[in-house]
Amino acid sequence: MGLMNYKKKIAIIYTSVTGNTEELATIIYNTFLKYPFDTVVYQVDRFPLSRLGDVDVLIIGTYTWGNGEIPKEMDKLYRALEFLNKKSLVTAVFGTGDSFYPSYCGAVDKFRDMLFVHTSLAATLKVELTPGQQDVKRCENLVQVIYNKFNEASSKTLSSRETNYKLGKQC
Ligand SMILES: Cc1cc2nc3c(=O)[nH]c(=O)nc-3n(C[C@H](O)[C@H](O)[C@H](O)COP(=O)(O)O)c2cc1C
């Protein structure tokens, strides 16, 4: 009975300076409320890295800095995930960026490549600056893909659809 009541834990960990990525994190959080998960949103500096092993699904949100760089405040999280190296952890990464820069949402790409190697990467999402109405649908798609991936991972069934998740599905 107790097991049936256990809701899987999702952590959305993000960083944002001017609010775009925070807005996107809020849309994704609100979408997750329709699913049977216990979802919590954290600013990266408020998330205790010692709790990384406790979450069932981890979703990362980041803007891009410098020339396609991961923001400094995300470095510790990046390295902790590399070290954790937990292939059963379902992950996704989203971010906002500005296509004026040569490496559009480069931080999303950098997280994607690491998460693909060290975790079970479900999906990625890139949004141009401030999320618009059209991005709400993309967030719904992202959440559905994560949910499917989580169910697949839970039932431990390998299917041919697995190949669709190479480097995560772009939402
Ligand atoms: C100095 C600087 C460098 C940036 N470099 C990039 C970049 O390389 N690639 C990119 O896609 N966006 C880049 N951006 C744009 C930001 O990632 C974008 O404005 C983002 O939406 C900010 O997110 P936030 O509102 O959550 O802080 C840069 C912005 C600044 C100010």
- Measure the CA–CA gap between 14 and 19, rounded to whole angstroms: 11
Work out which ligand 1 atom sits closest to the CA atom of 99.
11
Sign of the CA dihedral running 76, 77, 79, 84? positive
Closest C-alpha among 58, 63, 77 to residue 168: 58
Work out the pLDDT band at 141, boundaries 50, 70, 90: very high
Within 13 A of 149's CA, how many CA atoms are on the CB side?
Answer: 30
Runs of H (alpha helix) within 93-132: 106-118
**CA-nearest residue, atom 22 of ligand 1:** 63
Among 98, 99, 110, which residue has the most ligand 1 atoms within 8 Å of its CB, making it the best to mutate?
Answer: 98
- pLDDT, average across residues 75-95: 97
How confident is the model at residue 6, as a pLDDT? Answer: 74
CA of 64 to the centre of ligand 1 (A): 5
Cβ contact 159:133 at 8 Å? no
CA of 44 to the centre of ligand 1 (A): 17
Angle, CA of 26, 167 and 100, to the nearest 5°: 60
User: What is the residue range of 70's domain?
Assistant: 2-170
Query: Above 70 in pLDDT, residue 123?
Result: yes
Mean residue pLDDT of the chain comes to: 92
How confident is the model at residue 5, as a pLDDT? Answer: 58
Query: Above 90 in pLDDT, residue 7?
Result: no
105-to-29, 126, 166 alpha-carbon distances in Å? 21, 7, 19
How confident is the model at residue 1, as a pLDDT? Answer: 43
How confident is the model at residue 167, as a pLDDT? Answer: 77
Query: Above 80 in pLDDT, residue 128?
Result: yes
Q: What CATH number does residue 13 fall under?
A: 3.40.50.360
- How many domains in the chain? 1
CA of 94 to the centre of ligand 1 (A): 13
Work out the pLDDT band at 153, boundaries 50, 70, 90: confident
| Percent above pLDDT 70 for the chain | 91
Work out which ligand 1 atom sits closest to the CA atom of 64.
17
Work out the pLDDT band at 166, boundaries 50, 70, 90: low
